[in-house]
Structure formats: structure tokens, C-alpha cells
């Protein structure tokens, strides 16, 4: 795997980790009723994460 294929994945990693951490944080906040965060927040973030990874899967399938 060359640098041209590895670099975009490395550069995307911080954003992916941030989104996953915010998802887990929103679950915690909704369970503890922190700052009025409801269960809708983790559900919306989960949908966004699923769509993102599904899009990446479709993109990868298109490349092959």
C-alpha cells in the first residue's frame, strides 16, 4: 500500500475518532440527563456514523 492510499486514511482518522467519542459521550450524557441532552442525540449520531461507513464501503467497492 503506497503513501497515496495510506495518507488519506491517516488524515481521516482523527475526525472518525472524534465522531465516535462524541457518540459515546452523548450516550453517557443522555443516560445521566446532563445539560438536557435527550436520547435523540445519540440516535442521530448513530445514523450519521452508519451512513458514513456505508458510504465508505460503497466507495471502496467502486474502486475495486
Look up the domain containing 30 and give its range.
Answer: 3-63
Q: Judge whether 46 and 27 are in contact, CB under 8 Å.
A: no
State the chain's mean pLDDT as an integer. 88
Which residues, in sequence order, are CB contacts of 28 under 8 Å at separation 6+? 34
More confidently predicted of 35 and 16: 16
Structure confidence at residue 37 as a pLDDT band (50, 70, 90)? confident
Residue 40 has pLDDT above 90, yes or no: yes
pLDDT of residue 9: 84
For the chain, the domain total comes to 1
What is the full DSSP assignment across 12-62? HHHHHHHHHHHHHHHHHHHHHTGGG--THHHHHHHHHHHHHHHHHHHHHHH
Amino acid at each position: 500500500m503506497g503513501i497515496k492510499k495510506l495518507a488519506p486514511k491517516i488524515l481521516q482518522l482523527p475526525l472518525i475518532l472524534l465522531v465516535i467519542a462524541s457518540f459515546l459521550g452523548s450516550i453517557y450524557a443522555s443516560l445521566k440527563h446532563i445539560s438536557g441532552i435527550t436520547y435523540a442525540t445519540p440516535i442521530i449520531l448513530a445514523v450519521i456514523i452508519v451512513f458514513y461507513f456505508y458510504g465508505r464501503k460503497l466507495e471502496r467497492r467502486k474502486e475495486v
